[in-house]
Structure 1
Amino acid sequence: MTSPTATTSLLRLRTPVLAVLGALLLSGGWAPWPTAWLVPLLFVGWLPYLVMERKLTLEGARKGRVFASTYLMLVLWNALTTWWVSYAELAAGIAAVVLNALLMCLPLMAFRQTKKRLGNRWGYLSLPVYWIAFEQVHLHWDITWPWLTLGNGFAAAPQWVQWYEYTGFLGGSVWVWAVNLLAFWAWFGRGGVGPWAVEGPARFRWAAPVLTVAMPLFVSALIGRSYEEKGPKAEVIVVQPNLDPYVEKFEGGAQFVPYDEQLTRLLKLSEQKLTPETRLILWPETALEEPYWENTIESHPKIRRVRAWLAQHPGVALLTGITTLGSYPNKEAASETARYRDDLGYYDFFNTAAYFANATAPVALYHKSRLVPGVEKIPPVLVSIVSHIDLGGTVGSVGSQAERTVFAAPANAPALRVAPIICYESIYGDFVGEYARNSATLLGLVTNDAWWHDSPGYRQLLSYGQLRCIETRRDLARSANTGFTGFINQKGEITQRETAWIPTSSRAAVHLNTETTFYVRFGELIGRGAQIAAVLLLVVAVVVGWRRKQLPA
């Protein structure tokens, strides 16, 4: 397995071949149709990169060639897995591939420099540290795009990662790197090529990566087998109106469905599954689309119509996506995302979730907070640039809020405290965990997956919801404009899934768990720890490099 001939043959592969191979293997966690059968490719997905980097080092390749080879692999990986973003916005799709691959180069270049200054042992140990520190940063800054966080790659195999309730999805990133590095060591470790020089039979070196794969699987199986759904039950309905966002959903579309008819469809689909036991109904993202001014929302005819319908069905609460606008009295009071018009003054657009606890309670609002970069959020430095360009529409970011709002329980279901999660937000583990820390007992996801057509995007987003259920041990009720509507239990198992691309609704009795997991209580310990370790490693590498330059030749 690790003969000199095999090792030499592997190093003789051309770097473009290794780059393509690495991209293909890493894509296994984000297959067009998510399946657990391809997820194991993640455990060897980084081997082509490690071999390629070693080959270039032995050849004394220039920095430009190393960077180009690395970037080729990363841009291919991004293109193979997230090309579908271009359906919603071509520029955003290109940026998601080109720029995200460029950002991914940063931790790999830091690894190269650390290995050069501190040697193989510390160099290879630094690689997962830098990568996970990068993933942690990518969860929180203005151009956040964590779709390809390695731990998300296990979304197609939730039964393998029941221990995410302790580590969160970054624990999966650690797992991927640990197996890849141990496999690389097993292949190249003899004679000091890898991070540790170990003599002896190859079978003993290969025991390490095999056990590193097997032990978490064993632990996950034990947890999954013993875990039981927690909390009282409540009946919930989720609705899928199936309105094409390109031609039907929005005014100006070629086959635009009037907003009154859209509301009628939502109400009829809700009534199809309604029973005396129903406590909550979910409508999808932007189900109520025409912009509603928040300070006068109660006077809007459609809001009155919703309240009249709720009055006919006492005991039922409604969570719906809605587009709202908030006004500010002056520039000083306005947010950094506020827009200005002479006739309106300063105001914000919000992608909002509205909650009606009953027919008369004041409407509660939550503003989407994790915004899609380039589509819903433009970094402030870029706003100043594009504000002078006529793009044919509004320029700037959608408004957001800092805290995670949990909607109050209706009187007849005191344990039902729903977390409003809007589409893209379900990618973020710690973000969703904040809802559970704020006493949410049910995850309520409203989304409009049809922006991505019949592509891998909405399938992967459905799978990500399974990971969030494991991390928080909360049931998830999912309402999509179209895509997949249904329910996921606390073990990350899809218990109901309606067919995509048809108007439908679904009903289930969900569990309302009040307990908090270790991950919910403490958040991203792995990510924050990796950031601290990355800074320390970089400082040591810089200092060592500087001291070497001071030594006499």
Structure 2
Amino acid sequence: MLYRVVNSPYILPFSATLTGLLLWLGWPTKPLAFFLFIGFVPLLYMEKAIVESGKHKSPGYTFFKWAYLAMLLWNAFTTWWVSHSTLPGGIAAVVFNSALMSIPLMAFYFTRKYLGNTIGYISFIVYWIAFEQFHLNWDLTWPWLTLGNGFATLNTWVQWYEYTGFLGGSVWVLLVNVLIFLVIRNYPQQRVELKKLWLPLALIVVPIVISFAILATYEEKGTPTEVVVVQPNIDPYQEKFSGHENFISYEQQQQRLISLSEQKITPKTKFVVWPETALSQDGGYWEEQLKQYRSITELENFVQSHPNIELVTGISTYTFYGDNGDASPTVRHLEGFGYYDSFNTAMHINRRGEIDIYHKSKLVPGVEKLPYPHIFKFLGPLAIDLGGTVGSQGSQDTRDVFYHSLDSTFSAAPVICYESIYGEYVSEYVKNGANLIFVITNDGWWSDSPGYKQHLQYATLRAIETRRSIARSANTGISGFINQKGEITDRSEWWVQDVLSQTLLANTELTFYTRHGEYIGHSSLWLALLVFTGAVGSAIINRKKQKPTVKVATRA
């Protein structure tokens, strides 16, 4: 059966489809991460078949066409739920991200062609990791399908992320795929020697054994801290904003948050955490006059009515720049008013009546951020509308930490929604002093889909990488707590009102990964540049050798 498949005229579409399906099967929240170790094998086999068959007039284009299909299927099967918030945006994300993923695959094809098999297959790993690193840091960033995220549901396999970060998981996946492919690459011309599979199998088993050994010996560290997280369950499509069909007044929304919080607050509670954009109002909250709003005064009174608590909440805010049109790349202008910026903000109200704010800075492309706003600012009105914002929101350069005013031993990273899928980014809060991580989010945009479940699971990887306990407050779910081992110790249900309380340990020690960041990714970028330069140089030399020489006839 397998022999007939390999020799079928449909081997190329079959291989592309199989790669897409295997990578989807291995993705959270299904506990089937093993499929990731073979997901790229059909694609590598396909590339070899295209090159060696001699049947294709343009083998490079043929490989691109089927490789793109493989990436398109993986993206579509895994992230289709983005279309719940915006159908055009969901389609664009799948189509564009698949095209981006094809770039390192084509670089691998080019490199193997001119530098041979050894460097070629090494470059497959290097280019993909370099792509993942680049995709973490540019304005069209969308790292949801970073391969290392694939172990989020089975994070007991990757406790060593505290040393490598999630890109270490990506290297693991790619290396095993290449080694398995090298064993079977000459089938059916040669029989597969199963004994040669011992190396890739060992490479799967040994890191898992190491991970379980780390898990068995790791002891959580830090000072006990009681935290309350609130899940108000306000429908972002129908109830959240004025003008919605079943709009709940902003006063009632705030009262719901307070009432739910009261159910779990004790004299030992240090922090109460509310979700992303929990506080909204028509006309917005202007940061220059936050203390003048009656709703903020009510929250200050709420904080003071309990002996130890401080509040961390999401809020939509604005900053006024007057006539300064160059105040920021994302500045907006209102005729007759002036220039201003809009922010997705985390606000901290402490016991001294002081207010700290942090602006979300990893913004969703097209939804919260217009890519490269200093260049494409004129396209702002075309940005996707999600949650009442159009165009680019503002951001900040630093990862601010919220310290408890009565005891600075307790400090929290205010991680807002999408930011929680960035390993090095989250670790910057920890380097700045955070010994707890608070993830505030509103995943209701994605409806009841794999999106919010994957988002929760990804947070467990941040706990392992930094060895920080996490409190997660989500508007419609899933809220909960994650310990330093990445174990979800308590969680709410989806789309219900809830409030949870737990004592977390505020750890102050820094992991190797926290200290050094994405060293794997940064190294891969430079190595990819070096290898690709070598491939280009080899291609130029090869073409010069093939260039025919013109002989000039001479008279005898």
Give the structure-2-normalised TM-score: 0.93
Aligned counterpart for 1:168 among listed residues 159, 165, 182: 165
Counterpart for residue 179 of structure 1: 176
What code does the residue aligned with 1:117 have?
Y
Distance 1:502 1:387, change over 3 A: closer
Give the drift of 1:353: 0.1
Distance 1:389 1:145, change over 3 A: closer
Q: 4+ runs of 1 displaced by more than 3 Å?
A: 5-9, 380-385, 387-395
Q: How big is the shift at 1:271? A: 0.3
Matched, 1:501 2:495: yes
Counting only pairs closer than 5 Å after superposition, residues 109-124 of structure 1 correspond to structure 2 as 109-124=106-121
Aligned to 1:400: 395
Q: Which of 53, 67, 70 pairs up with 1:70?
A: 67
Partner of 1:255: 246
CA displacement 1:98-130 (0-9 Å, x = unmatched): 000000000000000000001111111100100
1:202 matches 2:193? yes
* 1:101–1:544 CA distance, 2 compared to 1 (3 A): same
State how far apart, in whole Å, the 2-side matches of 1:383 and 1:396 are.
11
C-alpha distance in 1 between matches for 2:153 and 2:7: 32
Tell me the equivalent position of 2:463.
469
1:537-548 map, 5 Å: 537-548=531-542
1:410 CA displacement: 2.8
1:376 is aligned to 368
Residue 331 (structure 1) aligns with? 324
Counterpart AA for 1:184: F
Contact 2:368-2:390 at 8 Å conserved across structures: no
The C-alpha deviation readout for 1:361-406, integer Å capped at 9, x for no partner, is 3200000000001100111367345357699986421101111001
Greater mean alpha carbon deviation, residues 129-138 or residues 56-65: 56-65
CA contact (8 A) 1:445 1:477 kept: yes
* In structure 1, C-alpha distance between the alignment counterparts of 2:358 and 2:334, rounded to whole Å: 24
- Tell me the amino acid that sits aligned with residue 310 of structure 1: V
Residues 1:394 and 1:42: Cα distance change in structure 2 (over 3 Å): closer
Where 1:119 maps in the other structure, the secondary structure is helix
- The Cα shift of 1:28 comes to 2.3
- Tell me which of 112, 129, 142 is aligned to 2:126: 129
Q: Give the residue type in structure 2 aligned to 1:109.
A: M
The answer to whether structure 1 residue 26 and structure 2 residue 23 are counterparts is: yes
In structure 2, runs of 5+ residues without a counterpart are: 549-556
Is the 8 Å Cα contact of residues 244 and 450 (structure 1) preserved in structure 2? yes
Matched, 1:321 2:314: yes
Counterpart Cα distance in 2 of 1:11 and 1:366: 59
Equivalent position SS for 2:270: strand
Pairs within 5 Å for 1:60-99? 60=54, 61=56, 62=58, 63-99=60-96
1:481 paired to 2:475: yes
CA deviation vs aligned residue, 1:122-145 (integer Å, no higher than 9, x gap): 111100100000000000000000
Alignment of 1:410-421 (within 5 A): 410-411=405-406, 413-421=407-415
In 2, are the aligned partners of 1:28 and 1:41 still within 8 Å (CA)? yes
Larger deviation: 384-393 or 256-265?
384-393
How has the CA–CA distance of structure 1 residues 20 and 525 changed in structure 2, closer, same or farther, with 3 Å as cutoff?
Answer: same
Evaluate the alpha carbon distance shift between residue 410 and residue 70 of structure 1 in structure 2; reply closer, same or farther with a 3 A threshold. same
The change in CA–CA distance for 1:332 and 1:315 in structure 2 (over 3 A counts) is same
- Secondary structure of the residue aligned to 1:535 is helix
* CA apart distance, 1:331: 2.8
Counterpart secondary structure, 1:289: coil
Query: Deviations 1:273-323 (Å, cap 9, x if unpaired)?
Result: 111111100000000012200000100010001011112112111000000
C-alpha distance in structure 1 between counterparts of 2:255 and 2:389, whole Å: 30
Distance 1:408 1:512, change over 3 A: same
CA drift at 1:20: 1.2
Structure 1 residue 229 corresponds to structure 2 residue 220? yes
Quote the Cα distance in structure 1 between the aligned partners of 2:74 and 2:30. Answer: 18
Deviation for aligned residue 1:48: 1.3
- C-alpha separation between the residues in 2 aligned to 1:391 and 1:470? 34
- Distance (whole Å) between structure 1 residues aligned to residue 289 and residue 487 of structure 2: 41
The root-mean-square deviation of aligned C-alpha atoms, in Å, is 2.0
1:301 and 2:294 aligned:
yes
Alignment partner, residue 267 of structure 2: 276
Could you say which residue in structure 2 is the equivalent of 1:341? 334
Alignment partner, residue 551 of structure 2: none
Is 2:423 the partner of 1:429? yes
Q: What is the alpha-carbon distance in structure 2 between the residues aligned to residue 353 and residue 364 of structure 1? A: 8
Matched position secondary structure for 1:156:
coil
Contact 1:447-1:479 within 8 A present in 2 as well: yes
User: What is the identity percentage for the equivalent residue pairs of Structure 1 and Structure 2?
Assistant: 48
**Secondary structure class of the residue paired with 1:166:** helix
Q: Which residue is 1:219 aligned to?
A: 210
SS in 2 for 1:212: helix
Checking the alignment, whether the CA contact within 8 Å between 2:230 and 2:499 is kept in structure 1 is yes
Contact 1:376 1:397 in 2 (8 A): yes
CA distance in 2, matches of 1:495, 1:242: 21
Conserved 8 A contact 2:86-2:384? no
Counterpart contact for 1:383–1:396, Cα < 8 Å: no
- Count the aligned residue pairs: 538
Equivalent of 2:234 in 243, 246, 251: 243
String of CA shifts for 1:307-355, please: whole Å, max 9, x gaps: 1111211211100000000111333551000100123311010000000
Inter-partner Cα distance in structure 1 for 2:185 and 2:389: 55
- Displacement of 1:68 after TM fit? 1.2
The equivalent residue for 2:51 is 57
Aligned partners of 1:163, 1:513: CA distance in 2, in Å?
18
For residues 415-468 of structure 1, what are the alpha-carbon distances to aligned partners after superposition, in whole Å with 9 as ceiling and x for unaligned? 210000000000000000101111100000000010100000000000000000
Corresponding residue for 1:196? none
Once residues 235 and 435 of structure 2 are traced to their aligned partners in structure 1, the CA distance between those partners, rounded to angstroms, is 32
Instruction: Tell me the distance in 1 between the aligned counterparts of 2:348 and 2:177.
Output: 46
Tell me if structure 1 keeps the 8 A contact 2:5–2:11.
no
Output the CA distance in 1 between the equivalents of 2:123 and 2:186. 17
Assess, with a 3 A threshold, how the Cα gap between structure 1 residues 472 and 69 changes in structure 2: closer, same or farther: same
Alignment partners' CA distance in 1, 2:175 and 2:345: 40
The residue aligned with 1:43 is: 37
TM-score under structure 1 normalisation? Answer: 0.94
Output the amino acid matched with 2:245. A
Contact preservation (8 Å) 2:368, 2:389 = no
Once the two structures are overlaid, the 10-residue window that deviates more, 14-23 or 175-184, is: 14-23
Structure 2 counterpart of 1:141, from 138, 141, 150: 138
Q: Shift of the alpha carbon at 1:230? A: 0.5
